[in-house]
A and B are shown apart, each in its own frame.
Chain A
Amino acid sequence: MTEQSIRIKREPFLRVVKKTEVSYGRMVLLSLLAVVIAIVAGGIFILAIGQNPFEIYASIVKGAWRSKIAARGTIKLAIPLLIAALGITPAFHMKFWNIGAEGQIIMGGIFATYFALFWTGLPHWMLLLLMFIGGAIGGGLWGLIPAYFKTKYGTNETLFTLMMNYIALYLIKYLTEGPWRDPASSGFPKIASFAPNARLDQVLGVHAGWLIGLALVAVMFVYLRFSKQGYEISVVGESINTARYAGMSVKKIIMRTMFLSGAVCGIAGMCQVSGAAYTLGDGVAGGVGFTAIIVAWLAQLNPVVILVVTVLFSMLDKGCSVMQSDFGLSPAVSSILQGIILFCILAFDFFTRYRFVLRQRRKA
């Protein structure tokens, strides 16, 4: 070794260090900071396209809540997102990466639609109950299949659940163009609109899905935090070996939890078909199953925080569409703006886990 090489180079200018533990207060502060930075970054974009950021932002917030109709629209957007995010939560708690919420929503919708189309003779509440249970079972089965293969053959759940989404989506296409095609619709293939009997009631101007969603927030919170099954989910998520050593049946827990996860997503699908669309189309999930992953993750899998995040998301979504029509902007503009804001918030997740250390001048 030469003397030259011993004279070591200097420290790197910037280092990334993992934080040990972050206090709760700091976490909240960082999250707020993330929102502020997101708004500023979005503002720069708005300036770049020659608009006034303050006006645009004002229009987004106002747009979401300015009238009863607007507010109802916002809540209507929030319902499937909330329920799907709650559905993903138990699976993610178990570190089972269920990205198949989209497909599970669709299957819930398909099962519910079956009852809506062919069991219309039943009393209203009984039909709705059947549709609710059917939706849950449909979504649940769609979640159970990848869980079964995972426990039996060790398949990768991420890919498996993702692929199941496409199967579900094309199943709708098949049903629309084949067996369930509405004979009354000439030319354009679609499934018939539901009879009023199969439509979810309105409560305070919005379909009752919001009540189901709020109830699920409470149920999921209690289930995960206080129930035995919730405890099992946490242990399996922590370490499968620990769960085995404690005598838990890991396979059973994984399958049960994935059925539950899919079932809740299926309920979201049922609410969509019977509360919002009154029919089944291939837009029934419309990407909600993926957005729900972001919501659940940002909320750190806490059901109550999921509610808050969902409302903010829907507000942004609804407000942007109002803003874009008010200002006569292209829809792409609001998509880009949403993307920028989301990107900033997600990127900030990094700062809650890591910090930068600048080079210090060291005393000899």
Chain B
Amino acid sequence: MKNEAMAIELKQIRKTFGSVVANNNIDLSVKQGEILALLGENGSGKTTLMNMLSGIYKPDSGSIFINGHSVAINSPEDSIRLGVGMIHQHFKLVEALSAADNIILGAKEKGFFLNRSRSEKIREISKRFGLEIDSEKKVYQMSVSEKQTVEIIKVLYRQADILILDEPTAVLTPQETKRLFEILRRMKEEGCAVIIITHKLNEVLEISDRVTILRKGESVATVETAGTSAQELTELMVGRPVELSIDHPETYFEENLLEIHHLTVCDEEGFEMIKDISFDLNRGEILGVAGVAGSGQKELCEALAGLLPVKKGAILYHKENLVGKSPAEIIKMGISMSFIPEDRLGMGLAASMGMVDNMLLKTYNEGKGPFVSKKAARELSKRLVKQLDIVTPSVDTPVRRLSGGNVQKVLLGREIESQPNVLITAYAVRGLDINSSYTIYDLINEQKQKGVGILFIGEDLDVMLELCDRIMVLCNGKITGIVNAKDVTKEQLGLLMTDASGKGGHKS
């Protein structure tokens, strides 16, 4: 009887924010023991929809059925009570507590004392779903994938039988992704309903039973995974045929731009985040930097841009040492760094300023006199809007009101327009949809052909293998390998990222 009913059924859901329609006429359903992939470009309403299921937003109209009953989800608490568990992209764990403490946190149980049997219960859940966890280990000592496991056990502990995972693989190595998928399949066998949000088509094809595609806030199609292809999914998502391969133009510059010798960098707390690394970057080359999140990518960027003091070593640019120069001097020399943080706006853009004012960030000081001249910036903004198809009501609209993809185009557009010689870009396509990602790859390739040296810090190994010339792998602040992108496989990179050969020293 129970299996007949859908675990979740959404009917004609509509949600607006002011005049913006985020979701419209959305129909979606998941059976028990089924994995549904939710696919859609950025700004197509995936997150809004899931936030309504987890009680953060409320729909304006439409109805939600859980196990066949019509429900109103007023708060995250309601959502948990209904058995919906959400695993966010950014983990919500207390770093100083152990796994077990994090798991029972917020699970309201009767009685005054903590339940003594909790470890047993955690063990039982772990066994049932094939999860491995040391329940006494503190969260801050855990790797990303372990933290994710804790998040999963947390929702299972609260007896969730409907799981929503928001881009769970974005931070995982290929090996870790495989393990996660095994766990998801196990859940499916146990009768859970799983919704997975992801951008990666190959993962959709690998793990899901059905795919629901959102476009511009509406559910445009639901297809059986077995009968579809990456090409078809992309077309449904974008609304027209799209070329799926990344260009890889060859360049013939022989000149060396940057040489890094024995660089050691500490973060603000004084921990060594980059340990004695050496590499070089040539003109017309894209050097990829791969690594598990937090392997020192951010510190490397900041050190190159002069934002973090260098403890040891040298950064030579045309044989001139950059160590000790101020960030403004380094910008003037033609080294541009754009780091796209998780919240996208925190670094590089001023959220409540318009495009025009944001264009001025690195150049406002160039003109003479005490006043800022906005004329050139206004023209530049208008040109970028046209060139990069930036969707904005006007060039003075605060950039925080633009969607993520457009924000990133504004940022990268500005960096490229400053005509740098070295372009350092970290997570340039973070969270971007396919279409915008390709626009950005094209921009980067264009710069490469002009002879710019590009340091591309990325997350998606598939993309890096196609886009980059060489790939440098960081693990715990050390280089575990610099390889030619042509001669390496994803699995090999994955092994380097986790330092399987032990070259990078032990884990801290």
Interface of A toward B, CB cutoff 8 Å: 1, 5-12, 19-21, 226-232, 234-235, 238-239, 241-242, 244-249, 362-364
Contact = CB atoms under 8 A, between A and B. Distances in A.
B159 A247 contact: no
Interface of B: 17-18, 20, 58, 61, 63, 66-67, 69-74, 78, 81-83, 159, 305, 307, 326-328, 330-331, 337, 339, 341, 345-353, 357, 360-362, 364-365, 370-372, 401
Task: Identify whether the interface residues of B are mostly helix, strand, loop, or mixed.
Answer: loop
A242 B70 contact: no
A1 B72 CA distance: 16
Nearest to B330: A247
B78 A8 contact: yes
Contacts of A238: 350-353
Nearest to A19: B18
Given A244-B307, A247-B326, A21 B350 contact: no
Contact of A227 (B73, B327, B345, B372): B372
B81 A1 contact: yes
Nearest to A357: B58
B352 to A, nearest CB: 6
Given A8-B71, A242-B346, A364-B63, A20 B371 contact: no
A245 B307 contact: yes
B270 to A, nearest CB: 15
A241 B346 contact: yes
B345 A8 contact: no
B351 A239 contact: yes
Contacts of A239: 345-347, 349-351
A246 B346 CA distance: 12
B72 A11 contact: yes
Closest 3 CB pairs of A and B: A247-B328, A238-B350, A247-B327
12 contacts: A6-B66, A6-B82, A20-B17, A235-B361, A238-B350, A242-B346, A244-B327, A245-B327, A247-B330, A249-B326, A362-B61, A364-B70
A225 B251 CA distance: 46
A360 B327 CA distance: 55
B69 A6 contact: yes
A363 B60 CA distance: 11
Contact of A228 (B17, B71, B339, B364): B364
A19 B371 CA distance: 35
Q: Counting chain B CB atoms within 10 Å of each CB, which of A6, A7, A12 scores highest?
A: A6
A62 B12 CA distance: 61
B238 to A, nearest CB: 27
Given A245-B337, A246-B361, A247-B327, A363 B61 contact: yes
A245 B305 contact: yes
Given A1-B83, A228-B364, A231-B372, A247 B331 contact: yes
A184 to B, nearest CB: 48
A21 B18 contact: yes
A363 to B, nearest CB: 7
A228 B360 CA distance: 10
Contacts of B362: 246-247
A7 B69 contact: yes
B372 A226 contact: yes
Contacts of B73: 8
A12 B55 CA distance: 13
A10 B72 contact: yes
A234 B353 contact: yes
B357 A231 contact: yes
B303 to A, nearest CB: 13
Given A241-B347, A247-B362, A364-B63, A5 B81 contact: yes
B18 A228 contact: no
Contacts of A10: 72
A364 B64 CA distance: 10
Contacts of B347: 239, 241-242, 244-245
A155 to B, nearest CB: 17
A234 B364 CA distance: 13
A126 B441 CA distance: 65
